[in-house]
């Protein structure tokens, strides 16, 4: 059971959205949202939140039992059945912040990257980088992007990643807007979204309100 809540009652929501409302995540997210939070502090908060999100999103990982010896006795003890079969895919560049936190908790996970930019004339996402591990068919994929605003990048990334046929696919973010959830699930209703919050909406530039600003700029200090 996920320790958050599953949204299905609001008209724009599909059932596949998990809001992880753990108090530690909510507290750290509030600190990250504050305009006066420094780049150094923002980065460490995103790492900490991502570790906590990783804990929730991996709740259903299968276990196997290995025979081990403690100093006192032998026992059949649970271990992850397939930790090396996890692949975390970062949507560049802001996905890197979540990736770093998740890798601290799951160091054996494999990693993929996808880079997209928006063509200024056609207004469609264009891929400029794509690298994922081999044997994706045998791997469970977690796609990470801190902000699902319009949802267009997430839709394009998952369109592309589905071509590699992962065994399963989940999307993890910090913040979403209702518009982004609706857009994403109109294309990929089968992909669950794990988020720390659903904000009010988008401004005219596609930024989440109240949001936390530009996640990439705040992570990398580029503004
Ligand atoms: N990307 C961001 O980094 N922030 C937003 O609010 C929307 C998209």
Distance 117 CA to ligand 1 centre (A): 14
* 95-105 vs 39-57: helix crossing angle, rounded to 10: 60
Protein residue with least CA distance to atom 4, ligand 1: 214
86, 109 contact by CB (below 8 A)? yes
Distance 208 CA to ligand 1 centre (A): 6
* 39-57 vs 23-33: helix crossing angle, rounded to 10: 150
pLDDT digits (tens, 9 = 90+) for 152-189: 999 999 999 999 999 999 999 999 999 999 999 999 99
Comparing C-alpha atoms, which of 9, 222, 223, 196 is closest to residue 101? 196
Distance 74 CA to ligand 1 centre (A): 51
Predicted pLDDT of residue 71: 98
Distance 200 CA to ligand 1 centre (A): 13
Instruction: Give the position, in ligand 1's atom list, of the atom nearest the Cα of 214.
Output: 3
Give the mutation target among 179, 199, 215, 221 for probing the ligand 1 site: most ligand atoms within 8 A of CB. Answer: 215
Q: 3-state class of 135 per DSSP?
A: coil
CA distance 165 to 152: 20
Instruction: Give the position, in ligand 1's atom list, of the atom nearest the Cα of 215.
Output: 3
Predicted pLDDT of residue 125: 81
Give the mutation target among 212, 220, 221 for probing the ligand 1 site: most ligand atoms within 8 A of CB. Answer: 212
The secondary structure element, H or E, covering residue 166 is none
Give pTM, 2 decimals. Answer: 0.91
The set of protein residues with a Cβ atom below 6 angstroms from ligand 1 is 94, 147, 149, 207-208, 211, 214-216
Average predicted confidence (pLDDT) for the chain: 91
The partner residues of 5 in beta bridges, in order of sequence, read 19
Q: Domains plus CATH for the chain?
A: 2-60+84-220 (3.40.50.2020)
Comparing C-alpha atoms, which of 87, 91, 95 is closest to residue 158? 91
Q: Quick one: what percent of the chain has pLDDT higher than 70?
A: 92
Comparing C-alpha atoms, which of 222, 183, 221 is closest to residue 202? 183
133, 112 contact by CB (below 8 A)? yes
CA distance 32 to 29: 5
The encoded tokens of residue 41 equal 């502090």
Parts of the chain with a pLDDT under 70: 1-14, 83-84, 123
The secondary structure element, H or E, covering residue 53 is helix 39-57
């Amino acid at each position: 059971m996920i320790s958050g809540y599953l949204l299905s009652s609001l008209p724009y929501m599909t059932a596949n959205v998990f809001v992880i409302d753990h108090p530690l995540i909510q507290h750290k997210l509030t600190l990250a949202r504050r305009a006066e939070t420094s780049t150094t502090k923002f980065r460490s908060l995103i790492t900490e939140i991502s570790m906590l999100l990783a804990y929730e999103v991996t709740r259903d990982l299968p276990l196997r039992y290995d025979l081990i010896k403690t100093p006192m006795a032998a026992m059949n003890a649970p271990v992850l059945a397939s930790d090396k079969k996890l692949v975390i895919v970062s949507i560049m560049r802001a996905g890197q912040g979540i990736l770093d936190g998740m890798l601290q908790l799951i160091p054996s996970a494999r990693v993929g990257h996808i880079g997209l930019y928006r063509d200024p004339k056609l207004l469609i996402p264009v891929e400029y980088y794509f690298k994922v591990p081999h044997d994706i068919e045998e791997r469970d994929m977690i796609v990470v992007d801190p902000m699902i605003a319009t949802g267009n990048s997430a839709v394009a990334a998952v369109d592309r990643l589905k071509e590699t046929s992962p065994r399963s696919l989940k999307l993890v973010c910090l913040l979403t807007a209702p518009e982004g959830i609706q857009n994403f699930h109109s294309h990929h209703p089968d992909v669950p979204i794990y988020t720390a919050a659903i904000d009010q909406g988008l401004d005219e530039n596609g930024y989440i309100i109240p949001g936390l600003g530009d996640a990439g700029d705040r992570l990398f200090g580029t503004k």
